[in-house]
Amino acid sequence: MTRFFLQFSVLALSAFCGLAGADEDGIRTVSLPDGRSLSFRELGNPNGPLVFYFHGLPGSHMEAKLIADEIRRAGLRVVSVDRPGIAHSSYQADRKMTDWPRDIGYLADRLGYRKRKFGILAVSGGTPYGCVCALEMGPRISHLAIVTPFAPVEAEGVEKSSLNFLLQFGARHPNIAKLVLRSQNKRLQRNPDKAAKKGVRPFLPEERSFVLDQPQVKQDFLSNLKQISHQGPRGVVTEIKLLANPWGFEISHIRGVSVSIWAGGRDEIAPVSMAQYFRDGISGSRLHVNPETGHLSTFKEQAGRILSRF
């Protein structure tokens, strides 16, 4: 089970009213109307077009650092947001995926985009959160890019990966999932090198080397795992439950939003048929498949093309 809870790790300012300045790790927070806090990290040009980054499962704001160079070259202002219970974002009891657009809308307003459009880049387990924002906030979205998307577990006509079973197991047995996550966090603290090697096992051989052989990438990968467990396992377990059950909306209802979908032909975590599910379900969307890439390398190698859509 430990392997499962690492499989979705993709890796990876001026203050406004209601926003705190960045801490020593570059994390900022905004206070939401209901009293919760939402944490995020900014990358790129603070004066560029705004793009929200939605991390995978398990993941955090650290994922976006994997493409920091590409973001700078694209001249974008990327805001990588932690969902409730992750990093410094307050845990939200009984939350639904359909709650997310309200949080993002408020954050966009505080960042000065009340009357300006913004883009969304959603990766892997972050896909449904990008889709529900496109559904609920269509007129505010300039473009939605979903990368290596994971389809609903009940979706028909898609190739299932081992994660379908593991997600459902974790959703049915949350207490076991919490025990596994706590054990994983202890191992991460005791032996980070071993944790990194275990964490990259789901990736292709060349993707593992990319992470482990580059000190900064490896450190960012480990920092991502630490941020995931900053508040304990509740946030991740809630994410598992939400992804493993009906999402509460239909992607076929998304209308009038520019959508691109990016997949890798060698991705065993989110097979191409999952990307095709979104292509078929979202009217007017366009699918881009690189036959040679996997879950991590699709994101990294296609980053320039993906970001050019914004």
Compute the distance between CA of residue 120 and CA of residue 215 in angstroms, rounded to an integer. 29
Write out the residue range of the structural domain in which residue 135 sits: 4-307
pLDDT for residue 163? 77
Report how far apart, in Å, the C-alpha atoms of 255 and of each of 31, 132, 164 are.
Answer: 31, 12, 28
- Burial readout 227-236 (b: 16 or more C-beta within 10 A, e: otherwise): bbbbbebbbb
Maximum distance among all alpha carbons in the chain? 50
Compute the distance between CA of residue 308 and CA of residue 310 in angstroms, rounded to an integer. 5
Pinpoint the alpha helices (H) of the chain.
68-74, 100-110, 127-136, 162-172, 174-190, 192-199, 205-212, 215-228, 234-244, 272-281, 295-301, 303-307
Report how far apart, in Å, the C-alpha atoms of 304 and of each of 20, 255, 270, 298 are.
Answer: 31, 26, 21, 11
Q: Measure the CA dihedral 202/204/206/209, to 10°.
A: 10
Share of the chain above pLDDT 70, in %: 92
SS3 45: coil
SS3 48: coil
Compute the distance between CA of residue 187 and CA of residue 15 in angstroms, rounded to an integer. 37
Q: Which two tokens stand for residue 225?
A: 């795992």
Rg for the chain, CA atoms, rounded: 18
Q: Which two tokens stand for residue 307?
A: 């970001």
pLDDT for residue 188? 86
Q: Of how many residues is the chain composed?
A: 310
pLDDT for residue 242? 96
Which tens digit of pLDDT belongs to each residue from 231-254? 999 999 999 999 999 999 999 999
pLDDT for residue 168? 86
pLDDT for residue 19? 52
Which tens digit of pLDDT belongs to each residue from 31-74? 999 999 999 999 999 999 999 999 999 899 999 999 999 999 99
Domain total in the chain: 1
Under 8 Å CB-to-CB from 59, ≥6 apart: which residues?
A: 8, 9, 10, 86, 123, 124, 125, 126, 224, 228
For residue 88, what is the domain's CATH number?
3.40.50.1820
